[in-house]
Structure 1
Amino acid sequence: MIEISHLSKDYGGKAALSDVSFTVQPGQVTGFLGPNGAGKSTTMRILMGLETASSGTATIMGRPLAQHPAPLRTAGALLDARSLHPARKARTSLLALADSNGLPAQRVDEVLELTGLGAVADKRSGGFSLGMGQRLGIAAALLGDPQVLLFDEPVNGLDPEGVTWVRRLCRDLASQGRTVLISSHLMSEMAQTADRVVVIGRGRILADASLEEFTSRLGENHVLVGASDTTALGNALHAGGADVRRLDANRLDVRGFDAAHVGRVAFETQVMLSELTQVKTSLEDAYLRLTAAEVEYRSGVQTPQPQEVLR
C-alpha cells in the first residue's frame, strides 16, 4: 500500500506540492492524472526516495522506501526510461541491479522475456527506440518481483501492441494483490486500465474516487437523437425541461432526460426516430472539466461547441 499524508514540496519558493494526501490500495490499478507540472512526477520521486519532501510523509507498505531492507523487492518504478546507462547492454544493466539487490541472475532473463526484450538483451540500450527503452525500464521495475509498482507514462513510444501489453500487465499485477500506481496523459487508456483515479492540479488533490464515481460526479450524460421532425420533438422536450441542442437538420443532443424518456416523448409527439443513443461521459470529458482551470500551458485552439440551442 502507498500512503501520502500532508505532503508538500517547495522549489525555490514555488510550491510543487501543497498538503497532498491520498492512499493507493493493493489489488487495484490507480491512475494518477493531472496536467503537465501538476506534481505527479514529484510525488513519485519522493515516494522512491529521489526527492526530499518539505513536509509530510510518503510511505510504501508502512515506511519510507529507504527503510526497507530490500527496496527493489518492495517497490519497482519506471520514472525515466533513459535512466539506465546507454553504453551498457540491456542484460548487463539489469544484472548490475540484480547483483546490488541480492537477486538471482535468472530473474534478469525472466523479465527480459516478459517485456519482449529477450532478442535484444545483448544490445546497448543507448541504441534502443523510445518504446524499447520503456520496456527496459519496466523490466527493471519488475526485477525484484515487488508488491508495489509505480509507472510514470509507461506507454510513451509504444506501438498499439505494446500499449495493450502494458494495460494487461498492470491489470494482471493488480489481480495478484499488488499495488499499482500509473501516471498518464492518455485518458482513453486510463479508462480501460484504472479502477480508481487520483487527480492533481497545481500541486493540490482535485479528486480521489473510483473511475465510475469520478465520471458520474463530473459527467453530464446525454442522448443523441435522430428524428424526422427535430423542431417538433425539440420543442416538446424543451417544454418538459430538457436542454436541447440542434446538431444538424436531423439530429438533436438532449440533456436532462434519459433515452427511454426521450423515446416516450417522441412517441407522444408522433415523431419517427432514426437514432436514440444514450451517451455516458468519458473519463477524458470529466477530467477536462475538472482541470480546466489548472492547466499551466494552454493551447490557443478551443474545442467547438454545438452551435444552436433550442429555446
Structure 2
Amino acid sequence: MSDSIKTDFTNPSTFILLGVPGLEAAHIWISIPFCTMYPIAILGNFTILFIVKIEPSLHGPMYYFLCMLAITDLVLSTSILPKMLSIFWFNSREIRFSACLTQMYVFHSFSLIEIGIFAAMAFDRYVAICDPLRHTTTLKNPVVAKISLAVVLRGSMLILPYPLLLRQWPYCRNNIIPQPYCAHVAVVKLACADIRVNSYYGLFVLFCVMGLDVIFIIVSYTQILRAIFCLPTKDARLKTFGTCISHLCSILVFYIPGLFFSLYYRFQQNVPLHFHVLIATVYPLLPPMLNPIIYGVRTKQIQDRLLQLFTHKGT
C-alpha cells in the first residue's frame, strides 16, 4: 500500500489506522451506531456523577465506586472514539507514533482500572451483606480512598511496560494498523523483533491479574449467596439479592465481550478481518453506554432523584 512505510526504522513517525478494512465504503454508515453510543455514554455517566454529588443518601462506598466507574468509562470511551469518528467521517487515518502509544496506554490502563473497580464493588457488597453491622466501620471514607488509589495505581503501573517495550522495538514491515484505534496486540504485530516478552506479559495481565479479580469476585458472590440463602423469608432474600443485580449486570457486560475478544484476537482462524475489527470496535464502547442505564434502572434512589429534578423543572 502506498500509505505504508517498508524500510527499517526504530520509531515510525506515524501509524495508519485503516478503520474497518474491506468496509471503507460503508464507514459513514458504520459510524452511526458509534456516534449514537458516545453521546449516550457521556450523558449517562455525567448524570450518574451529578446525581451522586447532589443526593446525600448516595454518599456511601458503593456509590463512590460507581462514580469511579463513571469517570473510568468516560476516559475509556473518549480515548478511542473521537479518533475513530474522524477516520469514519474525514478519512483522517494518520496517528503519530507517540499519540498511538498514549492512546494504547490510556485505553488498556483504564480497562484494567475498571476491572479493579468491579472487584472493589464486589468487596463492598460482600461486607454489606455478609457482615452488615461492620459495613460502615470497615468501609470508611479513608479506606474507600485507599482502595480506589490502589486500583488506579495497579492499572497504571501494570500497563506501563506496554508502551515502554513497544518504543524499543524496530519496525520494518509497515506502519498500517488494520483497525480504528491502537491496541497493544495490533501494534506489537508490526515490530520486527522477538515479541514473545510482549505476548507473555499480555497473557500474564489477562490471566493472572484479570483472572485473580474474577476469582475474587466469584468467591465474594459465593459467600454473598450463602448469606442470602440463610435469610428467613423469600422477600428478604429477593430484596438483598436485588442490591447486587446492577453490579452483576455491569460485570457481565464488561467481562464476557472483553474475554471473548482477547482470546479471539490471539487464536482467530479463518475469520474475516472486518468481522474481527467490528467486534474489537464495539466491545470497549458497550460498558460506558450500558453501565449508567443499568444503574439508573436498578437504583431507586437515582430514579427518584432524576424524577424529582425533572418534576421541579416542569413546575
Shorter-chain TM-score category? Answer: under 0.3
Higher relative contact order (CA 8 A, sep 6+): 2
Pick the structure with more helix per residue.
2
TM-score normalized with structure 1 length: 0.21
Pick the structure with more strand per residue.
1
Bigger radius of gyration among the two = 1
